[in-house]
Amino acid sequence: MRKSHEPIEITAYINGEVRKTAKKNKKENPAHPEETVGYFPENTVEDVKEAIDYAYEAYKTWSKTPLKERKERLIKAKDNLEAQIPDLTVLMTREHGKAISDSENELVFAVTICNHILKVIDEVMEDEVIMDSDKGKLIVIKQPMGVVGAISPWNYPIDLCINKIVPAIITGNTVVVKPSPLAPLTVSKVIEIIAKEMPAGVVNLVHGPTEVGEELTSNAKVSKIGFTGGTATAKHIMKAASGNIKNMTLELGGNDPAILLEDADLSEESITRLVIGTFLTSGQICMAAKRIYVHESIYDTFLDKYKKAANNWIKVGDGLDKGVTVGPLNNKDQKELVEELIEDARNQGAEITKLGEIVDDEIFDKGYFLQPTLVTNISQEARLVKEEQFGPTVPVIPFKDEEEGIKLANDSIFGLSSSVWSKDPDNATRVARQLEAGYTFINTHGIPGIDIRAPFGGVKQSGIGREYGKEGLLAYLELHTISYPKSGAVPVTSF
């Protein structure tokens, strides 16, 4: 028997105070749409203006607060977050749909992000001395930007919010955060945990319709936008922000290819890594493997082994149930989009193979579930290949030689991540260097292979700028050069 939960209610958080609103919205459980998980506020444009004003004032003090104190406050916030992971994990699964292990990993990873930032921030903030000699001195200092508008998505709401808020505040900025209305509950609790350890106005939280986002991205007091989401939305954000020429970090969609070379390892362990890289979080990950290209010499063998590995790993059901690895899609619209892409492929003659096991047919039929599918005999021009499906289906296409494989992989307006599979790491790296992507995995793909010590982001229409790594911190800092030339020093070209 399922455990019953009372709906929770979250609020906005402005200038250190809880802010309730007259209008509220409800968030359903995508595994059980009849169940209301909680309620979240609908702020007005005036609310977000007020939050920005408070952040703008708080910045004047926070930007001058010693780094030591900023670190101490973040450590307290991080420890409080870690202590609440068990309860937050259950809430995350209920509002999002992802498997309980996936939710737990997301929250643990959020703490990992904080620990990494605390480890490297002193080095990042140090002045860079370019020259210090009898000819003079040349240094580069780092300064915060001001108010940051942070807009996070629904697929990994905690981590993709943390990697904006924490780099912003540790470097001396203040933030106004707007989470996605499709997964607003858990992330709001996480934001409030952090905000309570900061001075009033440093971290502010608002919810609301399109107009709230437009105000956040166009307001002249906001100096920086950090956004993760769809490319279409990013275009609107860029337009709204253009009036004030704001700095931006945009981590956008991807249509990420995996290339299996002729000598790829087709062992069960290797193929299972690719299955997880494809279907974790029901495929709702920007860096998931969304197109698989396989050398024609191993194509049939690969298909057999991939189906076997997928059938062994995929258990579709309520994310709270033991053993479930693939939950529902987060929302009805996303489910219908993926169904539309699969049906389009079917109508063009593609072969659709269902994968995995449905744990409970009754729950499956009522929720936003889709059984994962493998799609073969499909054209490179099909919508399922050209568009980002963001769901539990993947096309597999053969290629005749390395040149064609690279060409097919690069045939996209996107360029977020990619992967190359080969028993020869040097050969795999040589191929990886020819791919148009911001991050390439070797013999793995997606979340299992990500390393936050290195920068992550996309090329082409997959984004601008980088998150993670030291670059993700520098993205929230202005570089300020200070030059002390000695009288009579020779021109710089002679140095």
Residue 231's alpha-carbon distances to 110, 405, 419, 488, in angstroms, are 24, 25, 22, 52
pLDDT tens across 349-386, in order?
A: 999 999 999 999 999 999 999 999 999 999 999 999 99
In angstroms, the first-to-last Cα distance of the chain is 77
| Average pLDDT of the chain, as a whole number | 96
* Domain co-membership, 260 together with 222: no
Domain with 405 in it: what CATH number?
Answer: 3.40.309.10
Residue 72 confidence (pLDDT)? 98
Identify the domain containing residue 136 by its residue range.
8-252+458-480
- In this structure, is residue 358 part of a structural domain? yes
Separation of alpha carbons 99 and 365, rounded Å: 18
* Domain co-membership, 74 together with 148: yes
**Other residues' Cβ atoms within 10 Å of the Cβ of residue 200:** 14
**What is the band of 493 on the pLDDT scale with cuts at 50, 70, 90?**
low
- Of the candidates 17, 55, 25, 47, the one whose C-alpha atom is nearest the C-alpha of residue 211 is 47
* Domain co-membership, 474 together with 434: no
* Domain co-membership, 137 together with 188: yes
Separation of alpha carbons 96 and 85, rounded Å: 16
pLDDT tens across 390-399, in order?
A: 999 999 999 9
pLDDT tens across 301-348, in order?
A: 999 999 999 999 999 999 999 999 999 999 999 999 999 999 999 999
Mean pLDDT for the stretch of residues 140-166: 98
pLDDT tens across 262-291, in order?
A: 999 999 999 999 999 999 999 999 999 999
* Domain co-membership, 121 together with 221: yes
* Domain co-membership, 163 together with 86: yes
Q: What is the CA radius of gyration of the chain?
A: 24
* Domain co-membership, 86 together with 210: yes
Separation of alpha carbons 210 and 231, rounded Å: 16
Separation of alpha carbons 90 and 26, rounded Å: 18
pLDDT tens across 225-269, in order?
A: 999 999 999 999 999 999 999 999 999 999 999 999 999 999 999
- In this structure, is residue 490 part of a structural domain? no
pLDDT tens across 54-63, in order?
A: 999 999 999 9
* Domain co-membership, 39 together with 128: yes
- In this structure, is residue 198 part of a structural domain? yes
- In this structure, is residue 489 part of a structural domain? no
Domain count, the chain: 2
Burial 401-410 (b: 16+ CB within 10 A, else e): ebeebbebbe
Q: How would you class 374 by CB atoms within 10 Å of its CB: exposed for 0-12, middle for 13-18, buried for 19 or more?
A: buried
* Domain co-membership, 294 together with 214: no
* Domain co-membership, 238 together with 262: no
Domain with 184 in it: what CATH number?
Answer: 3.40.605.10
- In this structure, is residue 408 part of a structural domain? yes
Structure token digits, residue 104: 């737990």
pLDDT tens across 444-461, in order?
A: 999 989 999 999 999 999
* Domain co-membership, 166 together with 208: yes
Residue 3 confidence (pLDDT)? 77
- In this structure, is residue 486 part of a structural domain? no
pTM (2 d.p.) = 0.95
* Domain co-membership, 248 together with 294: no
- In this structure, is residue 488 part of a structural domain? no
Active site residues: 251
